[in-house]
Structures are given as structure tokens and as C-alpha cells.
């Protein structure tokens, strides 16, 4: 959906904001995949956190695009539930790994 949306941006943004949003969006599943390939739970956690950061960065840039009138507010509202869903899934991965790393947080 984001890739289709970026096709509508003005040409002046094709190699600026569009590229940055594209890199962030691609970074989300790429870091999940890389983290999943790691043996260490701490390494996995690191990549899932990077993925979450990329998701938030992409959302911030989409807000900027809305402020600049490259996308309308309704389009941004349509994207928000999808972003929230991915954020919740990443948070679930993070929580699961944290429990695996430290099953009893009171016994550090």
C-alpha cells in the first residue's frame, strides 16, 4: 500500500522523502527476518527493536507527507490501523523474548 501511495508523490520527492519512506518500510520485515535468523535471544530482540524503530520512523514520515499535502488525512488514517497491528506484533515478539531472557524479572 505504501509503495502505491509513493507513486503519487511529486517528482521532487522521488529521491528524497519517497526513498526514505521506502527504506523504512523495507527495513521492518528485513530486520524481523534477520532477527529471526539469530540464535541469541538478545540479538533477536535487538533486530526486532530496530524494526519497531523503522516502523515508527516510516509513520512519522507519512505524517510529514500528510502535512505537506502529498497524501490526504484519510489515507493516513487508513494506514494507521495497519501500522498499529504491526507495532503490536513487534511488541509481542519483544515481550516474548524478554520473558525468555529473564523469566522472573524479580530474580535478576
Is 5 domain-assigned? Answer: no
The answer to the question of residue 68 being in a domain is yes
Q: Classify residue 7: in a domain, yes or no.
A: no
Cell reading at 84: 498499529
Q: Which residues constitute the domain of residue 69?
A: 13-98
Burial class (CB in 10 A: 0-12, 13-18, 19+), 81: exposed
Span 101-105, mean pLDDT?
Answer: 74
Number of structural domains the chain divides into = 1
Q: What is the pLDDT of residues 55-78, one digit of tens each?
A: 999 999 999 999 999 999 999 999
Give the pTM: 0.88
20: CATH: 1.20.1440.60
**Residue 83 CA to its chain's centroid (Å):** 7
Q: Is residue 28 part of a domain?
A: yes
SS3 sequence of 13-76: HCCCHHHHHHHHHHHHHHHHHHHHCCCCHHHHHHHHHHHHHHHHHHHHHHHHHHHCCCCCHHHH
Amino acid at each position: 500500500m505504501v509503495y502505491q501511495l509513493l507513486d503519487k508523490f511529486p517528482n521532487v520527492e522521488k529521491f528524497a522523502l519517497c526513498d526514505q519512506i521506502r527504506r523504512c518500510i523495507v527495513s521492518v520485515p528485513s530486520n524481523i527476518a534477520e532477527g529471526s535468523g539469530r540464535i541469541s535471544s538478545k540479538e533477536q530482540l535487538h533486530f526486532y527493536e530496530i524494526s519497531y524503530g523503522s516502523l515508527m520512523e516510516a509513520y512519522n514520515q507519512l505524517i510529514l507527507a500528510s502535512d505537506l499535502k502529498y497524501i490526504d488525512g484519510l489515507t493516513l488514517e487508513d494506514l494507521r490501523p495497519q501500522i498499529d497491528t504491526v507495532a503490536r506484533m513487534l511488541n509481542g515478539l519483544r515481550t516474548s523474548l524478554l520473558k525468555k531472557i529473564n523469566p522472573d524479572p524479580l530474580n535478576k
